Each structure stands twice: as structure tokens, then as C-alpha cells.
């Protein structure tokens, strides 16, 4: 088993691939509007505190679990404790649910990139454009196919030649593109107002809801509780400094989310108004195209194309991690070959993605708990399954196996500076906070 398992090459391989997974659509559109909605600076502060405590402990725990066992979720839990095999299965369901609909959104991103690239910005800036496009039957499914195809090819190529190489190319490009667009936005007259809106704490909008929103965002943004970090940990060499790698991912993911806010919030205030800082896909696919159009036909097309290209890179490195995780789980479990598994997963993800795509149009009136398919899959995975998995993972690490085992694994490669924090958070603080999110999201549903 050990011999056939691939691994990341150097120190940077793991960090770039894991950071690639973490930085995604969540950072680019979810984080900025949450910050704008929940009191600016105060949200940023709460988020930051949660990242360095809660996020750190959970991520270090998951990576250590993967590295220790050399297996992805199903195998990892099972090998350590047979009775907890169920948690491996439960964890595995999460990326399986997310992958198809994430690729539907990825398809929209490629579509918008191509629209800006081919000079059709004026049409895309019309408020009804997105709705009409997403409601179509063949076009969005075609883009889903293209996006999933790119993801599948990279995963097919393997951990080293596909996942790692793609991250090495796309992550630096992503940072450069984001910096370019951010500098451009910040140089516009009136940008300062948006920046202030984004970073000034508004205590009147602080509530327990702020903490819950930040916690929910944290899971999603750091790709926790879905087996990804377990799988990537299993590809990590024993001599790579685990604590430092996790810190680097935290810094990168949070820094990038912050930067995305610095780009998007002022862009909306300069070229539109704050009421357009809306939630959901409309921010990215309706408001921002409108913002780009106001920059003028040439400049708007260039900035818009660059923007969607960067979104595409961010999304791709995330969907790669989702698919890699699913493939690795099936491979471990069923002992299928990698290439075959990859093709099976791609075909299944495509078929399962179709309802999420059609739910915006011809199947709009097919509702699950009052939600269309995409919203439902998103809700079930992020608001229900992920907190449950995170809670059980904390119990498993903190109480069933005990933190010592994981502390030892982390110490294999370096000192463990935040060891105390790790123990306290994983055993006490995290489980309590997660139950709070879970209760609140169940209440939201009823």
C-alpha cells in the first residue's frame, strides 16, 4: 500500500495544493459579502481569531490523521478504530455531494471568462443575462462538461504531475492576477470609502450570528470536515514540517480572503452602490459584470476577463482537491486503478451535476425542502453534514484516540508550538462551538 501511494514532492507541494483547495469561490465571493453584511472589521477580527484557534486545530488534526495512517478518510478512521468506520463514510459523502454542483458553478465561471474575452461584456452586464443563461438546458451543461473535463484531466495525471503541478502554476498566477485587479480598484477615486466600509468595525451589527457565520465560513474556506485534508495529509512526507505547513495554509487562505474583500467591496462601492453587495451567485455573475461594464468597453473587458480567469484558477484548484479526494477514497476502498476510478468519478459527477444545472431553469419547480437542487446540495453539505463531521472528528481525535497520538505525529517533523492550544480546542472548544452552528442551521431550515 505504502509503496504504490503517491506523494507530493517537496515541502511546497503539499502547501500549494492544500492552499489551492482552501482558496476558492468561498474566499472570492462568500467572504467579502459576509464581511460587508456582518459589521466589517468586527467580522474580520472574529474570523481571524477563529482561524488561528479552531481552524488551526482542526486542520492540524486532519492532516496528522492522514499522514499517520497514509490513507484517505474511510481507511484512516477504520484503521485506527473499527467502530469509527462510519465516520469515514460520512466524511466521504461530503466531497461526493459537493463536487458535482461545484463544477456547475465552475462551468458558469468559464462561460463568463469566455464572454469577457470575446468582447460580449455589454450583453453580460445586463441584469437578466445571468438568469437567462443559467436557465438554459444545453449551454450550462456544456460548460459543466468542459469544466469537469479540465478537472478530471488534471486528477487523471496524478498527484505529482497533475495536482501538484497545476497548483504550482495556478496559485502564483492567481495571486498576481488578484493583486493587479485589487491595485486597479484601489486606485479609483472613491475606493477609500469602500475600504473603510470593509475594515471599520461596526459593533452594532455584532451578534452571535456574526460568530456563527464566521465559523461556517471557516469550515468551508479551509476545506475542513470533508476528508480533503486527510487525503492530502496522506500524501505528505514524514519529514515535512506539519505545523508550519498548516500555518502557511491558514495565512494564505485568510490573507487571500482579505484581499478578495479589498478588491470586491470597493469595486462595488465605486462603480455601484452598497445595496448591490448581495448574497449568492448574483454578486459574482450579475453585480460584478455590471461593475466591469461601468469601467468602459475596453478596460472593463480586460479587467473582467482577468477577474474571471483568477476565479477560474481558484475554483479549479478546489475542484481538483474534491475530485482527488473522491478518487483516493474509492481507490483505497475498492482497489480500483487510478485511471479507471478517475473516469468513473468524472462520469458520475457529470450525471449528478445535471439536476443542479437544470434546477435554475426547466427544473426550477422541483424543490427539496423548498430549495432547488444546487441550493439543497450546498445546504446539506455545508450546513448539516460538515458540522456533524467536524464535531465527530473532534470527538474522535480528542476523546476516542486522545490527542497524544496526533501530537506525536506532528512532532515527528518539528516541535509543536501550539500543542496546548491544539489539545484544548480539539477536546473542548471546538465541539461546543460546532454544536452551536448545527443547532442554528437546523433552526434556519424549520
Residues forming the site for ligand PHE (CB under 6 A): 21-22, 24-27, 98, 220-221, 223, 226, 318, 321-322
| Nearest to ligand PHE of 26, 66 (CB atom) | 26
Q: How far is the CB of 213 from ligand PHE (least distance, A)?
A: 14
| Nearest to ligand PHE of 15, 293 (CB atom) | 15
Which are the contacts of 17, defined by CB distance < 8 A and separation ≥ 6?
Answer: 8, 163, 164, 167, 232, 317, 321
| Nearest to ligand PHE of 212, 222 (CB atom) | 222
User: How far is it, in rounded angstroms, from Cα 406 to Cα 398?
Assistant: 9
| Nearest to ligand PHE of 22, 46 (CB atom) | 22
User: How far is it, in rounded angstroms, from Cα 55 to Cα 218?
Assistant: 7
Instruction: Name the packing angle between helices 41-50 and 191-199 (round to 10°).
Output: 50
Q: How far is the CB of 322 from ligand PHE (least distance, A)?
A: 5
> What would the grid cell of residue 390 be?
467536524
Q: How far is the CB of 200 from ligand PHE (least distance, A)?
A: 25
User: How far is it, in rounded angstroms, from Cα 387 to Cα 438?
Assistant: 6
| Nearest to ligand PHE of 182, 321 (CB atom) | 321
| Nearest to ligand PHE of 151, 321 (CB atom) | 321
> What would the grid cell of residue 123 be?
450583453
Question: How many residues make up the chain in this entry?
Answer: 446
Q: How far is the CB of 177 from ligand PHE (least distance, A)?
A: 16
> What would the grid cell of residue 377 be?
446540495
| Nearest to ligand PHE of 21, 245 (CB atom) | 21
Amino acid at each position: 500500500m505504502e509503496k504504490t501511494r503517491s506523494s507530493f514532492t517537496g515541502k511546497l507541494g503539499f502547501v500549494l495544493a492544500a492552499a489551492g483547495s482552501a482558496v476558492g469561490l468561498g474566499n472570492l465571493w462568500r467572504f467579502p459579502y459576509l464581511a460587508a453584511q456582518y459589521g466589517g472589521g468586527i467580522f474580520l477580527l472574529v474570523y481571524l481569531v477563529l482561524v488561528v484557534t479552531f481552524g488551526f486545530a482542526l486542520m492540524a488534526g486532519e492532516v496528522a490523521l492522514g499522514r499517520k495512517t497514509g490513507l484517505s478518510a474511510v481507511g484512516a478512521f477504520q484503521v485506527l478504530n473499527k467502530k469509527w468506520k462510519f465516520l469515514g463514510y460520512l466524511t466521504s459523502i461530503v466531497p461526493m455531494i459537493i463536487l458535482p454542483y461545484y463544477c456547475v458553478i465552475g462551468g458558469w465561471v468559464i462561460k463568463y471568462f469566455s464572454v469577457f474575452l470575446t468582447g460580449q461584456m455589454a450583453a453580460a452586464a445586463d441584469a437578466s443575462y445571468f438568469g437567462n443563461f443559467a436557465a438554459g438546458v444545453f449551454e450550462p451543461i456544456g460548460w459543466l462538461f468542459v469544466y469537469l473535463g479540465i478537472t478530471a484531466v488534471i486528477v487523471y495525471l496524478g498527484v505529482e504531475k497533475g495536482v501538484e503541478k497545476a497548483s504550482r502554476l495556478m496559485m502564483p498566477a492567481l495571486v498576481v492576477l488578484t493583486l493587479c485587479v485589487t491595485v486597479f480598484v484601489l486606485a479609483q477615486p472613491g475606493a477609500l470609502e469602500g475600504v473603510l466600509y470593509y475594515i471599520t468595525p461596526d459593533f452594532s451589527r455584532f451578534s452571535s450570528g456574526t460568530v456563527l457565520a464566521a465559523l461556517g465560513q471557516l469550515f468551508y474556506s479551509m476545506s475542513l470536515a470533508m476528508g480533503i485534508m486527510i487525503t492530502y495529509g496522506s500524501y505528505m512526507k514524514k519529514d515535512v514540517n506539519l505545523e508550519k505547513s498548516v500555518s502557511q495554509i491558514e495565512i494564505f487562505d485568510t490573507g487571500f480572503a482579505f484581499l478578495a474583500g479589498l478588491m470586491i467591496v470597493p469595486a462595488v462601492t465605486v462603480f455601484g452602490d452598497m445595496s448591490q453587495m448581495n448574497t449568492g451567485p448574483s454578486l459574482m455573475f450579475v453585480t460584478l459584470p455590471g461593475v466591469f461594464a461601468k469601467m468602459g468597453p475596453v478596460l472593463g473587458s480586460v479587467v473582467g476577463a482577468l477577474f474571471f480567469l483568477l476565479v477560474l484558477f481558484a475554483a479549479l484548484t478546489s475542484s481538483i482537491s474534491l475530485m482527488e479526494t473522491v478518487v483516493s477514497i474509492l481507490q483505497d476502498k475498492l482497489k480500483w486503478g487510478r485511471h479507471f476510478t478517475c473516469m468513473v468519478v468524472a462520469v458520475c459527477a457529470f450525471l449528478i451535476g445535471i439536476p443542479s444545472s437544470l434546477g435554475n431553469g426547466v427544473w426550477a419547480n422541483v424543490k427539496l425542502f423548498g430549495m432547488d437542487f444546487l441550493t439543497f446540495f450546498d445546504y446539506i453539505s455545508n450546513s448539516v453534514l460538515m458540522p456533524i463531521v467536524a464535531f465527530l472528528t473532534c470527538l474522535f481525535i480528542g476523546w476516542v484516540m486522545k490527542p497524544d497520538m496526533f501530537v506525536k505525529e506532528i512532532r515527528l517533523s518539528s516541535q509543536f508550538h501550539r500543542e496546548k492550544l491544539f489539545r484544548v480546542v480539539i477536546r473542548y472548544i471546538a465541539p461546543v462551538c460546532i454544536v452551536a452552528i448545527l443547532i442554528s442551521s437546523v433552526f434556519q431550515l424549520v
